[in-house]
Amino acid sequence: MERILIIGGGASGMAAAIRASECEANQVTLLERQARVGKKLAATGNGRCNLTNTQADLRRYHGEDPGFAASVLAAYPPRRVLEFFAALGLRTVTEYGGRVYPVSDHAGSVLDVLRLGLEKPNVTVLSGCPAEAVRRDGGGFAVTAGGQTLCADKLILACGGCAGSRLGGVMDGYALAAALGHSRTALYPALTQLRTAPDYPRALKGIRVDARVRLLQRENVLAETSGDVLFTDTGLSGTAVFELSRCAAGQSDLTAELCLFDDPEEVLQADLRTRRGRWPALEANRILTGAVQSRLGQMLCRYAGISGGVSAETLSDAQLRALAKAMRAMRLPVTGVSGFETAQVTAGGLCTAEFDPDTLESRLVPGLYACGEILDIDGDCGGFNLHWAWASGLRAGELR
């Protein structure tokens, strides 16, 4: 019998525990500091859990050495991860962009099947039991947790990162790894909101649009994405913005440029002239009525220097040109990125050079493994981070 201890009952830890328990000679203990396993998982994908992406490959991952993920991703492509979940009873559906969700549209279903998978005679789940210290103990490990000492032959660190702190993201895993001699890179919040100067977004709070977004540093384009943009009381959120946040971390002099309309500027100008002619008595700042949500239309007018209190017929061609330009390029000064509290993922983590990319075993401490977000690998928005959690958890659980 081999005693396997897994610290962290999140996505990667549960996958590792299920895989490790397939060998009946393994006695698996899963330690979770929170009152129940998978608390963060239940909140993923706005409660729907975007559990993987059929397009998951190395190009979607980041870190000091993203190539570290190659072997695990090759061993566990989306097809194999979906087979793992199908065997647990989960029914899934693939949506736009290859994003995979449970058919139930409920993240709880993903958690349910994992918990069911853990219900085995050779698995013990200890919730509400934070691992506080770890040391080498002969050929194995001794972990202090909740006033007791747990001994193991092999140890898997699956503590996640410090992102999503409201859902339990903590620094514990890095400290436990450091106690065993491992180092980490700098940590940054990734897949998070951009903070912008308050003038515009605050009044637009809650409005969601489909837009192209460019991140500019002075006039240089640092990154460009398109998709969902949500205005919040502190700035911009949504999947298109999350993608840019990685490039924004630690930078200054940034501007987010929103292109809210696909049509060329001349076409927009012609449409605005038609609107001016058709509704001459309309209040000028309502000229975009019906083209966008009214609050956004009025905000675009304000941005272009058009105020209410006068009628549309008084608008000059130059004012309509300015408005058409704003519809294609509304610029908002970026004051920073939101912190770990709201970030979906931690960029940076345990130095991957200290782990074997094929087995995820430590190169410094035999019998120690790490998986998931704790490692210096993070993915794009769209199911790629959970994919890494499952793939690396399954690989670590093989205990090769």
Interface residue list for ligand FAD (CB under 6 A): 7-13, 31-34, 39-41, 43-45, 49-50, 130-131, 158-160, 163-164, 167-170, 172-173, 344-345, 372-374, 383-386, 389
- Residue nearest ligand FAD, Cβ-based: 10
Nearest to residue 275, comparing CAs of 289, 295, 262, 265?
289
Closer CB to ligand FAD, 156 or 327, in the complex: 156
* Least spacing, CB of residue 152 vs ligand FAD, in Å: 14
Widest distance between CA atoms in the chain: 86
Nearest to residue 384, comparing CAs of 86, 84, 97?
97
Closer CB to ligand FAD, 13 or 367, in the complex: 13
Instruction: Count CB neighbours of 328 within 10 A.
Output: 17
* Least spacing, CB of residue 350 vs ligand FAD, in Å: 11
Can you tell me the distance from the alpha carbon of 57 to that of 381, in angstroms, rounded to the nearest whole number?
A: 13
Can you tell me the distance from the alpha carbon of 195 to that of 234, in angstroms, rounded to the nearest whole number?
A: 5
Can you tell me the distance from the alpha carbon of 18 to that of 393, in angstroms, rounded to the nearest whole number?
A: 9
| Contacts with 278 (C-beta within 8 Å, 6 or more apart), sequence order | none
* Least spacing, CB of residue 264 vs ligand FAD, in Å: 35
The residue length of the chain stands at 400
* Least spacing, CB of residue 172 vs ligand FAD, in Å: 3
Pairing type for strands 140-145 and 99-102 reads unpaired
Closer CB to ligand FAD, 108 or 130, in the complex: 130
Residue 23 in tokens: 């060998």
Closer CB to ligand FAD, 49 or 330, in the complex: 49
* Least spacing, CB of residue 169 vs ligand FAD, in Å: 6
| Contacts with 344 (C-beta within 8 Å, 6 or more apart), sequence order | 163, 164, 190, 191, 192, 242, 381, 385
Residue 53 gets which letter from DSSP? E
304 contacts 272 by C-beta, under 8 angstroms = no
Closer CB to ligand FAD, 63 or 164, in the complex: 164
Closer CB to ligand FAD, 167 or 178, in the complex: 167
Closer CB to ligand FAD, 146 or 333, in the complex: 146
Number of H helices, E strands in the chain: 11, 21
Can you tell me the distance from the alpha carbon of 158 to that of 18, in angstroms, rounded to the nearest whole number?
A: 13
Residues 288-298 as b/e (b if ≥16 CB within 10 A, e otherwise) read beebbeeebbb
* Least spacing, CB of residue 260 vs ligand FAD, in Å: 25
Closer CB to ligand FAD, 192 or 298, in the complex: 192
Closer CB to ligand FAD, 112 or 373, in the complex: 373
| Contacts with 119 (C-beta within 8 Å, 6 or more apart), sequence order | none
* Least spacing, CB of residue 144 vs ligand FAD, in Å: 10
* Least spacing, CB of residue 268 vs ligand FAD, in Å: 35
* Least spacing, CB of residue 286 vs ligand FAD, in Å: 37
* Least spacing, CB of residue 204 vs ligand FAD, in Å: 22
State the amino acid at position 186 in one-letter form.
A
Closer CB to ligand FAD, 240 or 389, in the complex: 389
Scanning 153-307, the segments in alpha helix (DSSP H) are 172-179, 199-203, 239-248, 265-278, 294-303
